[in-house]
Amino acid sequence: MIQELKDNYGHLFENNLLNEINQVGTFKEVPEGAVMINIGEYVKSMPLLISGAIKILREDNDGDELLLYFLEKGDTCAMTLTCCLGQKKSEIKAVAETDAKLMMIPIQKMEEWSGKYKSWRNFVFESYHNRLNEMLETIDSIAFLKMDERLLKYLIEKARVSEDGTIRNTHQEIAYDLHTSRVVISRLLKKLENLGKIELHRNYVTLLKI
Amino acid sequence: MIQELKDNYGHLFENNLLNEINQVGTFKEVPEGAVMINIGEYVKSMPLLISGAIKILREDNDGDELLLYFLEKGDTCAMTLTCCLGQKKSEIKAVAETDAKLMMIPIQKMEEWSGKYKSWRNFVFESYHNRLNEMLETIDSIAFLKMDERLLKYLIEKARVSEDGTIRNTHQEIAYDLHTSRVVISRLLKKLENLGKIELHRNYVTLLKI
DNA sequence: AAATTAATGTAACCCTTGTTACACAAATTA
DNA sequence: TAATTTGTGTAACAAGGGTTACATTAATTT
Selected residue with higher pLDDT from A198 and B81 = A198
Gap from A147 CA to C18 C1', Å:
15
Virtual CA dihedral for B176, B181, B183, B187, nearest 10 degrees? -80
The pairing of beta strand B54-59 with beta strand B65-71: antiparallel
> How far, in Å, CA of B170 to CA of B16, rounded?
46
Q: What is the mean pLDDT of chain A?
A: 93
Inform me whether the pLDDT recorded for A98 exceeds 90: yes
Provide the pLDDT for residue B21: 95
Residues of A in contact with B131 (CB under 8 A): 132
Provide the pLDDT for residue A81: 76
Q: Answer yes or no: do A135 and B135 touch at CB < 8 A.
A: yes
Helices (H) and strands (E) in chain B, counts: 8, 10
Provide the pLDDT for residue A185: 98
Neighbours of A16 (CB within 10 A): 11
Provide the pLDDT for residue A210: 61
Provide the pLDDT for residue B84: 67
DSSP A63-113: --EEEEEEE-TT-B-HHHHHHHHHTPBPSSEEEESS-EEEEEEEHHHHHHH
3-state secondary structure (DSSP) of residue A141: helix
Q: Answer yes or no: do B122 and A60 touch at CB < 8 A.
A: no
> How far, in Å, CA of B14 to CA of B123, rounded?
12
Of A64, A115, A125, the CB nearest to B85: A125
Q: Answer yes or no: do B128 and A82 touch at CB < 8 A.
A: yes
Provide the pLDDT for residue B204: 98
Provide the pLDDT for residue A209: 76
Selected residue with higher pLDDT from A27 and B125 = A27
Provide the pLDDT for residue A41: 92
Provide the pLDDT for residue A18: 95
Provide the pLDDT for residue A52: 95
B56 to chain A: closest CA residue: A136
Q: How many CB pairs under 8 A join A and B?
A: 104
Inform me whether the pLDDT recorded for A64 exceeds 80: yes
Selected residue with higher pLDDT from A168 and A122 = A168
Which residue, among A112, A139, A141, would best test binding to B if mutated, counting the most B CBs under 10 Å from its CB? A139
Q: What count of residues does chain B have?
A: 210
Selected residue with higher pLDDT from B170 and A124 = B170
Q: CA torsion sign, B60 to B63 to B67 to B73? A: positive
Inform me whether the pLDDT recorded for A149 exceeds 80: yes
Gap from B155 CA to D9 C1', Å:
20
Inform me whether the pLDDT recorded for A107 exceeds 90: no
Long-range CB contact pairs, A164-172, < 8 A, 24+: A165/A206, A165/A207, A166/A204, A166/A205, A166/A206, A166/A207, A167/A204, A167/A205, A167/A206, A167/A207, A168/A203, A168/A204, A169/A203, A169/A204, A169/A205, A170/A203
Gap from A186 CA to C28 C1', Å:
55
Task: Kindly report the pTM of this predicted structure.
Answer: 0.94
CA angle A142, B146, A94 (to 5 degrees): 50
Residues of A in contact with B139 (CB under 8 A): 58, 66, 68, 135, 138-139, 142
Ranges A74-88, A92-106, B92-106: which has the least confidence: A74-88
Nearest to A99 by CA among A53, A157, A48, A57: A53
Inform me whether the pLDDT recorded for A35 exceeds 90: yes
Class of residue B100 by CB neighbours under 10 A (exposed 0-12, middle 13-18, buried 19+): buried
What is the average per-residue pLDDT within B172-183? 98
3-state secondary structure (DSSP) of residue B48: strand
Inform me whether the pLDDT recorded for B184 exceeds 90: yes
DSSP state of B21: H
Ranges A19-28, A70-79, A156-165: which has the least confidence: A70-79
Q: How many CA atoms lie within 13 A of B95 on its CB side?
A: 14
Cβ of residue A147 closer than 8 Å to a chain B Cβ: no
Inform me whether the pLDDT recorded for B87 exceeds 80: no
Cite residues whose beta carbon is less than 7 Å from strand C: A 170-172, 182-183, 186-187, 189-190, 200-203; B 146-148, 179-181, 183-184, 188, 202
Q: What count of residues does chain A have?
A: 210
Nucleotides of C under 7 A from a protein CB: 6-12, 16-21, 26-27
